[in-house]
Chain A
């Protein structure tokens, strides 16, 4: 793992990978470029440079400006498909030419720092037939998280729809429960969407993973992957701080890492880790809770663990502690949660 994590001020996003599409969409809807760029350090002249860059502070400001200037709830939905079909992004060319969904998603995961460094995904087998991909912020996205998740989900759903014909069997779970988003997602995504869920995730039936894409083209795929690799030389593979901390702790379960251990592994002092986490509007204890909660939910969904086994796997001293913690984190006791899931 690359020990260095990026922050808000690292210029690791390419302007051509999303920002120019977003600006074009917003401008066609009547927003003025200069107003969209206010408060950011982006210059109009840089927008067309092939390797012009921006950092996440600017990107988040840009998203905020767009939502302030325009009243267009369809924006994240359109941005997802605009990014997917952009000719400038070789990663997206790569996705379109892949053999099947498995290959495409593997590429997206491997090169994710080129397109969505701010979101990281973890996949697990939810049941025998369905793989669930959970999406979490790799840096603190604040109130732009629903927007970012919607963009990413739109990209995936558009890809599936374009290549496999239909996205009806997909299920999307979103954390946000906002009305405008609910209405728009009904209109734009023809799949089941549920809101106010514990985690942003997308569930894809196993049958779709191996189905051949209509535009599968091994030669084009290899060429696109080559240019992705070339881009890797200028665009370092960096992960967000939250992603680094979480994946480290995830691997270490059932042992719990202390803040000092994590800081040491990231090459930081404990205090500077604390300070940096607070920049991302979170803290170490909260991250730890989050990881254990997600892991508990995942294990409970997968099946047949007793509370004692779960407590062991998640690093709680005994099952009572686990029950109490689970109640605190989800508002339900584990048995009820399991019942809820099996009932559905």
Chain B
């Protein structure tokens, strides 16, 4: 990410160097006995923390207007703190007021700019949240995202499902689950290699998150099983969605020699996640036994 910001980094380096030169030019060095080490420690730490912010902004944010505000706000802070630290080592003659202005003015301005940037960040986050709908519910925990499919994993689903069950129960609304299972995925992996299997999984996850509604949440439950949480959806509606999904999957399977999938929809009537998952497994087993719910590629 930092490669996008080369120009910014160069200009801020120049700014800091010019500050240093100006300070050296206008003042004279202090004796080592005059240093106040506690001050140096305090101001040095502030400077380091501000530099850390700059680094984090550069390494984690793509270029854009919000990034600019955040960056230049922090840069002014860094500049101010830097001169603040320098005056511990350099004494300026009383006649030159420029250095003390340069020391105190950029900090509040930088704070204002930074705050404006943070407001922009907040707005941006709301937009991203809308973008993330279907992949995330009320909880955000990036450690639980599966790196292959970019969906949340089983641990996340358990946490979210528990809360949704309670919520839906208290509001007397229907909650449904949709289970998509790949038949005999081990065999597919064996025949076509793990790379093909992984590619299929990410393709399938794309299809699932595009085919479901914004309010639904798709998770990768196990290696070869996806579970979608359908809030405020009664069983008949969920069954229709399952039928729709089956047709979509059929089209995906027609193009290549992909494995067959089983899609099951069921209403959650159980009080705990464990019981709900158990019911889902049973429904899946029944569907696999019957075989008529699954589709086979021609």
Residue of A nearest to B198 (CB): A28
Among the listed stretches B89-97, B186-194, B261-269, which one makes contact with chain A, having 4 or more residues with CB under 8 Å of it?
A: B186-194
What residue in chain B is nearest A70 (Cβ atoms)? B147
Stretch at the interface among A76-84, A115-123, A219-227, A332-340: A76-84
Interface string of B177-202 (1 = CB under 8 A from A): 00000000011011001110010000
Q: Is B222 an interface residue (CB 8 A)?
A: yes
A85 interface neighbour in B143, B145, B194, B225, Cβ under 8 Å: B194
Query: With a CB–CB cut-off of 8 A, which chain A residues contact B195?
Result: 24, 28
Within A1-57, the residues touching B (CB, 8 Å) are 21, 24-25, 28-31
Query: Cα distance A183–B193 when bound, in Å?
Result: 25
Residues of A within 8 A of B223 (CB): 74, 77-78, 187-188
In the complex the two chains form, is B194's CB within 8 Å of A161's CB?
A: no
The size class of the interface chain B forms with chain A is 20 to 34
Of B146, B154, B193, the residue contacting A72 (CB under 8 A) is: B146
B148 at the interface (CB under 8 A from A): yes
Q: Report the bound CA distance from A31 to B194 in whole Å.
A: 17
Expressed in whole angstroms, the minimum distance between the Cβ of A150 and any Cβ of chain B is: 14
A–B Cβ pairs within 8 angstroms, 22 of them: A21-B194, A24-B194, A24-B195, A25-B194, A25-B198, A28-B148, A30-B148, A71-B143, A71-B144, A77-B223, A78-B223, A82-B194, A162-B186, A162-B187, A162-B190, A180-B155, A183-B154, A183-B155, A187-B154, A187-B221, A187-B222, A187-B225
- Label chain A's interface by main secondary structure: helix
Would you call A158 an interface residue if the criterion is a C-beta within 8 Å of the partner chain's C-beta atoms? Answer: yes
- Cβ of A23 to closest chain B Cβ, rounded Å: 12
Cα-based distance from A28 to B200 in the complex (angstroms): 12
Bound complex: CA of A78 vs CA of B198, how far in Å?
11
List the B residue with the shortest CB-CB distance to A187: B222
Q: In the complex, what residues of B have CB within 8 A of residue A187's CB?
A: 154, 221-223, 225
Q: Which residues of A contact B198 (CB under 8 A)?
A: 25, 28
Q: How far is the CA of A82 from the CA of B154 in the complex (A)?
A: 22
Q: Which residue of A lies closest to B194 (CB)?
A: A82
Q: A28-B195, A30-B147 are in contact. Are A81 and B186 (CB under 8 A)?
A: yes
Are A71 and B190 closer than 8 Å at their CB atoms? no
Contact A72 to B147, CB < 8 A, known contacts A161-B186, A180-B155, A183-B155: yes
Closest residue of chain B to A25, judged by CB?
Answer: B194
Once bound together, how far apart are the Cα atoms of A77 and B186, in whole Å? 12
Asked whether A72 and B148 contact (CB < 8 A) given A183-B154, A188-B223, the answer is: yes
Give, as a whole number of angstroms, the nearest-CB distance from A307 to chain B.
42
Tell me the B133-166 residues at the A interface (CB within 8 Å).
143-148, 153-155
Determine how close the nearest CB of chain A comes to the CB of B219; give it in whole angstroms.
12
Cα A128 to Cα B252 in complex, Å, equals 50
Residues of A within 8 A of B194 (CB): 21, 24-25, 78, 81-82, 85
Known: A29-B148, A81-B194. 13 other contacts (CB 8 A): A21-B194, A28-B148, A71-B144, A71-B145, A72-B147, A73-B153, A74-B146, A85-B189, A158-B186, A162-B186, A162-B190, A187-B154, A187-B221
Q: How far is the CB of B182 from chain A (nearest CB, A)?
A: 13
Question: How far is it, in angstroms, between the C-alpha of A72 and the C-alpha of B147 when the chains are bound?
Answer: 7
Complex interface: chain B residues within 8 A of A72 (CB)? 146-148
Give the nearest-CB partner of B202 in chain A: A28
Q: Which 6 pairs of residues, A with B, have the shortest CB-CB distance? A: A187-B222, A29-B147, A82-B194, A28-B198, A29-B148, A30-B147
A28 to B186, CA, bound (A): 18
Minimum Cβ distance to chain A for residue B204 (Å): 15
| A183 to B155 Cα, complex, angstroms | 8
- Residue from B147, B186, B193, B223 having most chain A Cβ neighbours under 10 A: B147
Min C-beta distance of B201 to chain A, whole Å: 10
Return chain A residues, CB-CB under 8 Å to B145: 71
